[in-house]
């Protein structure tokens, strides 16, 4: 009898260990849907390393990328999918619709906030920008992202996304004693005109955390040149090597001001952008004490203890010697020019005297 009781208890314990709550099963299924790439795959396909949080110096810059420019055209073409080639916006919308990456709301202050409260639901984001889709609930509740979204290529407004906002972080890592610039966020901007073809209005759509999209960018080839049609670079390499060309429209500041808020006209705006670019380029030179040589100075720079470099002394001595030799050559040439005149006169006088003696 005891054996039967122990056997029943063992069976009940095994059943309890194998059983899982429905909430845990649903959470695991959702996690599998959201993260289709393993950690190993993410580490393999990313070209950028996440910026550390405990850096001693960092500056955040916001740029706008105009896709009508040649250097940024790789993000716009092809407008419609061409074989396995898609543009950046088509790739992003597909990833969002499949639940692989989250999209975060573009707030009124223009700053990105990667929190759970600021995360878009897929159907809310698609409805807000009038992107048509088909939805299958698959047993999920109304408004839940547990279903599947299908968007036709013709319904993706990739031709209307003519610019992007990106955020760059330039930082100094004291652990490796290196400086780096990394793209940390991307925002597609929708350009749409009114019903009567009036002025185009720009609609920033959503922010994407670059760490979320980087693994998928690493698997997406892109053609960056009109002369070389080989897609020999990935989207992740494109952003990691800064192949784009973007104008600064904002820097992270205490008052959260745009450059246009304190620059009165286009001239001062261009000067402010050039000043900020110069500060970013000059930071590393000032950090290591390297100064670019000034070619406009006639006087050569002195050494560590105030002495002129040997190369400059040799150059000055050589120039002095060449100057002396050139002046001496000029004197000799002048003497040679005078010499033929004297010999011709003497020879003519000699011939006259001989003739007189014969007579």
Mutual angle of helices 88-97 and 210-217, in 10-degree steps: 110
**Residues 21, 33: Cα–Cα separation, whole Å:** 19
In this model, does residue 201 exceed pLDDT 80?
yes
Residue 74 domain boundaries: 57-286
Residue 165 in domain = yes
In this model, does residue 347 exceed pLDDT 50?
no
What's the pLDDT tens digit per position in 278-319? 998 888 777 766 555 554 444 444 443 344 445 545 545 555
Residue 223 in domain = yes
The answer to whether the CB of 42 falls within 8 A of the CB of 215 is: yes
Residue 42 in domain = no
**Residues 62, 276: Cα–Cα separation, whole Å:** 12
pLDDT of amino acid 345: 41
Residues 130-144: what's their mean pLDDT? Answer: 78
Percent of the chain with pLDDT over 70: 63
pLDDT of amino acid 155: 95
In this model, does residue 127 exceed pLDDT 80?
yes
Backbone angles phi, psi at 164, to 5 degrees: -135, 145
Residue 34 in domain = no
Residue 304 in domain = no
Backbone angles phi, psi at 209, to 5 degrees: -75, 125
Which neighbouring-strand residues pair with 339?
A: none
The answer to whether the CB of 196 falls within 8 A of the CB of 189 is: no
Residue 133 in domain = yes
Domain count, the chain: 1
Residue 73 in domain = yes
Residue 101 in domain = yes
């Amino acid at each position: 009898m005891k054996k039967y009781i122990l056997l029943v208890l063992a069976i009940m314990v095994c059943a309890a260990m194998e059983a899982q709550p429905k909430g845990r099963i649903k959470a695991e299924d959702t996690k599998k849907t959201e993260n289709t790439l393993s950690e190993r795959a993410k580490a393999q396909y990313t070209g950028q390393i996440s910026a550390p949080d405990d850096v001693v110096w960092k500056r955040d810059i916001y740029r706008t990328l105009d896709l009508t420019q040649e250097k940024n055209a790789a993000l716009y073409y092809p407008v419609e999918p061409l074989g396995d080639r898609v543009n950046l916006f088509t790739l992003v919308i597909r990833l969002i619709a499949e639940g692989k990456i989250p999209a975060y709301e573009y707030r009124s202050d223009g700053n990105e906030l990667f929190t759970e409260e600021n995360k878009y639901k897929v159907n809310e984001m698609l409805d807000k920008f009038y992107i048509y889709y088909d939805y299958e609930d698959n047993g999920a509740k109304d408004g839940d992202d547990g279903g599947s979204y299908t968007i036709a290529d013709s319904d993706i407004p990739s031709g209307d996304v003519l610019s992007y906002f990106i955020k760059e972080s330039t930082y100094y890592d004291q652990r490796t004693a290196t400086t780096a610039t990394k793209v940390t966020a991307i925002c597609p901007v929708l350009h749409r005109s009114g019903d009567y073809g009036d002025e185009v209005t720009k609609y920033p759509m959503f922010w994407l955390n670059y760490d979320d999209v980087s693994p998928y960018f690493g698997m997406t080839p892109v053609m960056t040149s009109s002369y070389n049609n080989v897609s020999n670079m990935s989207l992740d390499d494109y952003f990691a090597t800064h192949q784009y060309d973007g104008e600064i429209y904002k820097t992270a500041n205490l008052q959260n001001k745009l450059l246009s808020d304190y620059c009165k006209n286009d001239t001062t705006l261009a000067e402010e952008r050039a000043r900020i670019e110069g500060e970013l380029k000059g930071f590393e030179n000032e950090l290591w004490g390297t100064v670019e040589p000034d070619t406009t100075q006639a006087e050569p720079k002195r050494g560590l203890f105030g002495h002129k470099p040997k190369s400059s002394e040799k150059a000055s001595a050589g120039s002095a010697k060449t100057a002396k030799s050139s002046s001496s050559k000029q004197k000799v040439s002048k003497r040679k020019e005078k010499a033929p005149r004297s010999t011709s006169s003497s020879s003519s006088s000699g011939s006259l005297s001989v003739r007189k003696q014969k007579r």
